Chain A
Amino acid sequence: MIIMKDVQKAYDNGTRALKGVNITIQDGEFAFLVGPSGSGKSTIIKLLTAEVAPTEGSVRVNGYLLDRIRNRKKSMMRRTLGVIFQDFRLIEKKSVYENVAFAMRVTGAREREIQKRVPYVLDLVGLNVDTDRRPDELSGGEQQRVAVARALVNNPSTIIADEPTGNLDPVRSLEIMMLLEKINELGTTVLVVTHERDLVDRFEKRVIALDNGRVISDGMRGYVIHEQEKATPTE
């Protein structure tokens, strides 16, 4: 469960990225977060992962209040999240298997559990490659599947994805979105940041639209088309 209440975020240089945001996402929900570049989408992700703290208001994620969270709790909170990025963020010198196993190792899981769980999630995300290979030997779509597997491996209650399809072609993008939908159907809360409207339109999901640091619409297929995006389509 995610609850953002009257959240404002100003960066050290004075940029006001969020100007009073209220968002609640229930357990088991699937939501898109959309908006033009610079509207504050990534800032919301960084607040939810406790990379940055809110300037005003409060952020609650899976029972943890993040406003002034201690390091130890921060680690525990992050174990309830699976995070996916546009640029995959895999460790290049580790194998596919190790990239996923590593996330479990960090939480203190036992080798036996790791050996059972990693092949299971790699299978779940539909990755059919030799898991001893390095990420740079894989296609973008395959790399993102590895990243999804890593996000899932600790059995998080929430998956957060920041532009997960930004580096993929339309077919791979759709596949990844469908994978996230499947994960949501298995019970995990999913929040996906994207500005690819075509993709959002293919799913009957809740859409939270952000502009200039404010939520401008929030509802089923409530994607507002902005002037700016009409002028410069993103695909």
Chain B
Amino acid sequence: MMRRHRSWRDLGLRAAGLSAALLTLPVQAADPLSTHDAATWLQRMSDAARNVAYEGVFVVQHGSAMQTLSIVNRPFGSTKEGRAERESRLAAMDGAQREVRCTQSGSITRVMEGGQIKLEKRLNSRHFPDLLPPNAAALANWYSVKLGELARVAGLDCRQVEILPKDPYRWGYVLCADKDSGLPLKAMMINEAGLPLMQYAFAEIRIGGSPKVESQSSRDTWRMPAQPASVRPIGIETVSVKNLPPGFSRIAAVKRTLPNRSGRARMSSEVEHWVFSDGLTHISLFLEPATRPIASVRGQSKQGMINMVTRQVGPMQATILGDAPWVAIEAIAMGLEMRPDAGDPR
């Protein structure tokens, strides 16, 4: 117990040191906020990301890859159509032309492919870069929060906020929240050593005001029929999850087809997709009939941010994948069991 306690304390210190190095500002190793204050800060930042109107450009860095995106967030929808719904729009400014439009009812991705515009409906309506969930206060159970120094991002003063996991089942975050609105202007996902796994920061941002009016031709393309995401509920569940890491619960369970699946696999590609989350970390479980005996294989993204394992559970192939430390993926993977009363899913 003591040992774990110390190591996470170390992490905090190291994370603090790292942010200091990055922002060339001295950071004192502050004490964690009380659970109540932590919850208040988390909720303030989460609400700001949803309720503040802003537009700007931000840069995402993931390993050696970097992407620049423009974003428009309108908490009360596009004024022209008079909708009260929240709407956000993201457009990749480099690489392939890709745009995502999120509303409360779902999100649509518009991709330019060989001169053709393709629309795709996505399953979830999560608005990037909303990092924190709507009920962010609950995160204070699993993460401790420390306030750091004031810093400056995209020309605005912001307060550094460290969100550090209390156990090894999730990654930590260092945010910089706009001093006035609380909007996170910068976010960095860090591993247990305090090293960045992924980060994004606004390069330019305008908070408040009314956004530019979209051109008519651009509006029209969004009205084209989108390829629907084919989803249906799961019938009888054949697999049970014995132990979930603390704070995780199942937030989705659907039958769906996988995107981008090629060749023969596409024909029989309906899988069960379960999602577990603590509000900040997401882990997916995919279940499908195993077409042949499967050896367990572990996969990992280059920086170790995403971990994955494929194993066989009874007649099923289970793929567990998430932007979470290996122990979290492993715990879920190892806790999978066939339900004793389950028939052959085929």
A and B associate: no
Q: Which residues of B contact A (CB under 8 A)?
A: none
Q: Which residues of A contact B (CB under 8 A)?
A: none
